[in-house]
Amino acid sequence: MDNIFEFEKKYKDILEDIEEWAYLRIPVAFYLKNKENKKHKEEIKKISKIRKILNKIKKFKKIKNIFYGFKNWFGKYDYLFFSDSGERRFIKNSYMDKIADDIIKRIGKEKVLLIETPNSIHYKNIFTKKIVSHLFLNFLAKLIHVLIYVRQENIKKLKKILNLENINLNLLFLKKMFFSKYVIYKLLLTIYKPKAIFINCAYCNISLIKAAKELGIKTIEVQHGVISKYHFGYNSNIVINNDYLPDILLSFGETVETNLIKTIFPIGSFYLDYLKNNFKSDEKLTLLINNYKIVIGISMQDQEWERKALFDFLIPIAKERKDILFLIIPRKRKDFPQFPTNIIIYDELDCYNTIMHCDIHLTLYSSCALEAPTLGIPNILINYKDFANKYYKDTLSSYHTKIVNNKEEFLNILEQLLKLNKRKIIENNKNVFADNYEKRINNFLKDLL
């Protein structure tokens, strides 16, 4: 069994009678997606003592983060916005959430509480001050989950078919945690009585959606990444009850493939519009890239086996083409192999700022492939396990995005991409990222408020 869609198709008659599948399908989907990562981890070296110590430090920091912005829980708010610190970018002397903060500013900073999940950290110098840590709610949910009683009939039915496919998940724990979070969210929403909630990832917060729907609170998801017909968070072979789905999706553009969310409102991107209007070249990076004929910015994936596939593809090319500079833009600092001198780890600017200094953007299937053409930069996608074809072939224009399967194809299309017109690249990506963000978001908020 390779993916959740095959699983749903095979067991459709059983799954359609299991309401819990609306939220349990997400951990099952992640399990199936990460099977190869599990195999890879068995092959790589065991975690070092230093890394174990670092993991303990991270756990300590998480405990400390629970109380981030704690006093802000005690206030009256008309709207709640759920996001994560990974969306923050340094803009005009502070760290702004590129999805949440502009919308919060337009609604009114005092009217919105930002509930943030730390993507390793919470930032200090931030744009929106009415902010708290989502970890506090998760902590409360874990405290009460042992007290939660759930019916197990459907869990037993589902467990039988998971066993047939060698999928090993603790469904009882997952169901109890879902309802623990649901109880905490329902209490929170009952206290604040918000007019609406905004979420940057609805399928990661289905218990929140369920609680809001039962209280008649409008739920709005703001797109954060790729939405294709192969994304399990937005598509299913099983009919999903609307109680577990957001009311509205504020999408990047018109090209959104989902059979779950019915109301879609394209708004474009605050941050991409900001970058295009305010771009300034970085002196240090400019000095570095001037020594090379071609500069390629590389956005990464999360999983170790995906990074290994990327490096295996990249290193032989770098050794052969010393005139190309490869700038790796890491999501997080990881252990990297020994690279040739023209492969450089560069994290002094964010991904988008770095890409704007490059001639070409390269990735396996990072969502930066959606954004790079809107900044006037063409894509090369390495078609590892056919991910590039699945996620982007029907979404991105072949004018500016080329999918390659091997080194020869990669080298053959370089010169072609370097000759492309930036304005035409941007024009060819307007279906993916709508223009005129300010007008679009104002129109939406006018109706909402």
pLDDT digits (tens, 9 = 90+) for 179-238: 999 999 999 999 999 999 999 999 999 999 999 999 999 999 999 988 988 899 999 999
- CA-nearest of 388, 383, 431 to 410 is 383
The fraction of the chain above a pLDDT of 90, given in percent, is 79
Kindly list the structural domains of the chain, giving each domain's residue range(s) and its CATH number in brackets, ordered by start: 4-268 (no CATH), 279-427 (3.40.50.12580)
pLDDT digits (tens, 9 = 90+) for 418-430: 999 999 999 999 9
pLDDT digits (tens, 9 = 90+) for 111-166: 999 999 998 889 999 999 999 999 999 999 999 998 999 999 999 999 999 999 99
C-alpha–C-alpha distance, residues 442 and 353, integer Å: 26
Q: Is the pLDDT score of 308 beyond 60? A: yes
pTM of the model: 0.89
Question: Would you state the pLDDT for residue 45?
Answer: 44
Average pLDDT of the chain is 91
Six-digit token string for 298: 């590389």
pLDDT digits (tens, 9 = 90+) for 325-339: 999 988 766 667 789
Among 48-52, 98-102, 278-282, which is the least confidently predicted range?
48-52
Name the region of 266 (left: φ>0; alpha: ψ -120 to 50; beta: rest): beta
Confidence of residue 48 (pLDDT cuts 50, 70, 90): very low
- CA-nearest of 150, 195, 196 to 23 is 150
Confidence of residue 37 (pLDDT cuts 50, 70, 90): low
